[in-house]
Amino acid sequence: MQTIICMKWGTRYGSDFVNRLWTTIQRQTARPTRLVCFTDDTSGIDKGVQCEPLPEINLPEKLLSPPWRKLAVWKYPLADLEGDVLFLDLDLVVTGSLDDFFDYEPGRFIGIENWTQPGQNIANTSVFRFPAGKYTHIFDRFNIDPQRWIDQYVIEQVYISREIEDMAFWPAPWCVSFKHSLLPRFPVNWFKTPPLPPETHIVAFTGKPDQDEAIRGEWPAKWYKKFYKHVRPTPWIAEHWQ
């Protein structure tokens, strides 16, 4: 049984984001696979998803919403997680096989080479895989003295990248950023729809626009930024995100 996990807290992403992820997982895996969702609100989530309480973590209140909370998945034991576990954010679209992510260099931490910091050995944590129980220091050290690590690294994914010595990255074509990899630069973005490369497995929608906004060709932004923050309606998202 392959295990994929996600986290949902707060109000930005509703149960429909979890449910779309679950239906996509079922389409994009050939082997038995489950989705475990750690959440503070199970209402509306498909019964096929295994829901678990949001893990507790020692965080300053102002950082309960940003990604630092994701460090709680490194706690061990956690629910019934064992073996290699694949973490997926909710702000992404799966367009290719997820089985490949379990076959690639098993038994170690694998993340995305961060699109905005190439060559700096920093992983983006939209999509990462780790063996449950191997890197417990990521949670344990942080939970004892969170402010020390926040002050030192500022960003959660930098902390992980610097504290795991045997980190590796997915093949670059597998995981792309909608905004940084696919969206044509201004002014071409006004005339060209973002393409979907055939070798892509996952498209991450970091920041804005979200998946549903990009489908409609909407990019929420302040009025004085809308002349360059523009996206054409992108129908291939709806094809894969359902």
Each residue's pLDDT tens digit, 23-42:
999 999 999 999 999 999 99
User: Is the pLDDT score of 65 beyond 70?
Assistant: no
Q: Give the pLDDT confidence of 186-219 residue by residue, as tens digits.
A: 999 999 999 999 999 999 999 899 999 999 999 9
Residue 171: how many other CB atoms lie within 10 Å: 12
Those residues with Cβ within 8 angstroms of residue 15's Cβ, 6 or more apart along the chain or in another chain: 8, 41, 43, 44, 45
Looking up tokens 């070798």 gives 199
Residue 157, pLDDT score:
93
Whether residue 67 is predicted with pLDDT greater than 90 in this model: the reply is no
Those residues with Cβ within 8 angstroms of residue 178's Cβ, 6 or more apart along the chain or in another chain: 194, 203, 204, 205, 206, 209, 214
Does pTM top 0.85 for this prediction?
Answer: yes
Residue-level pLDDT at 62 = 73
Supply the pLDDT for residue 40.
94
In the chain, residues under CATH classification 3.90.550.10 are 2-90+98-169
Q: Which CATH architecture has domain 2-90+98-169?
A: Alpha-Beta Complex (3.90)
pLDDT tens digits along 77-129: 999 999 999 999 999 999 999 999 999 999 999 999 999 999 999 999 999 99
pLDDT tier for residue 223 given thresholds of 50, 70 and 90 = confident
- DSSP letter for 54, please: P
The angle at the Cα of 215, spanning 214 to 221, to the nearest 5 degrees, equals 30
Once rounded to an integer, what is the mean pLDDT over residues 133-151? 94
Q: In which band, very low, low, confident or very high, does the pLDDT at 63 lie, cut at 50, 70 and 90?
A: low
